[in-house]
Chain A
């Protein structure tokens, strides 16, 4: 499993570079969790709240590469996948 581009500047902040992102149609998710281990940069985790069917659903963290592995393994057509023209940088506490 790969790591997203991470740069650690000298302050107490590090940057996570996302080359892509997804939309997640949470109301159609059936909580199967197949997307979680499928994601190479490991940026999906299951939510705490549930959707109207009672299922938890995936949430996205910074570092998506737009590889679409999640979409390939999702039985419920929950994802759309995008790639940014320029990577989006997210700053998180180190």
Chain B
């Protein structure tokens, strides 16, 4: 048995025996690894995946980001991507203006659930319905993180936040908006997916969603949407190590992971559930064998 009890391996520098580096410290499109996200925040996990995907697709030098307002806004400065800063909720319309002027650019928004689903609900719905060839990326942690952990339109029933201390109560606060599912119903939406970064398999699946979304945009097939469930242990008032399980057991039970709409077809909840179980097993096996094959 390995693990604790066995000697510690020196990890302070690259190995001296022949080896190849299979994963870089940080994406090439990230100017610095440093950021002020809380310990255990899931947002940087998503940021790495979409930045590496842009790099892999070879479209870095026509990529433009439109950032909303939230904790993730600080990545505006560290992403080596031409960027337009939008107001809270307004990124989809700004992205529309950018893409109409630069149809060959890869235009994506980066927004949180407070930004997109509260303040900016009409913006993203209209942009999707219009079939704008942009990709809206939602980092969904079910709270307003930047203001300190308040209820959003995606917070789930029972979720405790600073302004729903007894837990979200349907009778008083109403029900969460399942934004990915809502967008999938719109004809202008070509590809809609919901990923999750609660474990390595989830991160890997999320990466593939980014790739399919960007490729769909580059083919000009319409609006694409990738929602990513991310951990916010600070906003959830739980220890950081409990983040992934909490997310999987609360947000993940309501906002179902999977490719919600592919090739114009909205997939059923049963399909998604079955696929989630199968994919998790498959990815766990790949990891056990020594790594997830990146397409």
Indicate whether B268 reaches chain A with its CB closer than 8 angstroms.
no
Q: Are the C-beta atoms of A28 and B33 separated by less than 8 Å?
A: yes
Q: Are the C-beta atoms of B25 and A61 separated by less than 8 Å?
A: no
Interface size bracket, B side: 35 or more
Q: Are the C-beta atoms of A21 and B204 separated by less than 8 Å?
A: no
Indicate whether B171 reaches chain A with its CB closer than 8 angstroms.
no
With a CB–CB cut-off of 8 A, which chain B residues contact A31? 39, 240
Q: Are the C-beta atoms of B240 and A81 separated by less than 8 Å?
A: no
- A77 CA to B44 CA, complexed, in Å: 9
Q: Are the C-beta atoms of B20 and A73 separated by less than 8 Å?
A: no
With a CB–CB cut-off of 8 A, which chain B residues contact A88? 17
Q: Please, could you name 15 A-B residue pairs with CB atoms under 8 Å apart, sorted by A?
A: A4-B2, A16-B6, A20-B22, A32-B240, A34-B40, A55-B39, A66-B291, A67-B292, A71-B23, A72-B203, A73-B203, A77-B44, A80-B21, A83-B291, A85-B17
Q: A24-B12, A30-B40, A59-B9 are in contact. List 18 more A-B contacts (CB 8 A).
A: A2-B288, A22-B11, A23-B12, A23-B14, A32-B241, A33-B40, A63-B3, A67-B290, A68-B23, A69-B200, A71-B23, A72-B204, A72-B292, A75-B37, A80-B21, A82-B19, A83-B20, A92-B6
Residues of A within 8 A of B (CB): 1-4, 6, 16, 18-26, 28, 30-34, 36-38, 40-43, 45, 55, 59-69, 71-86, 88, 90, 92
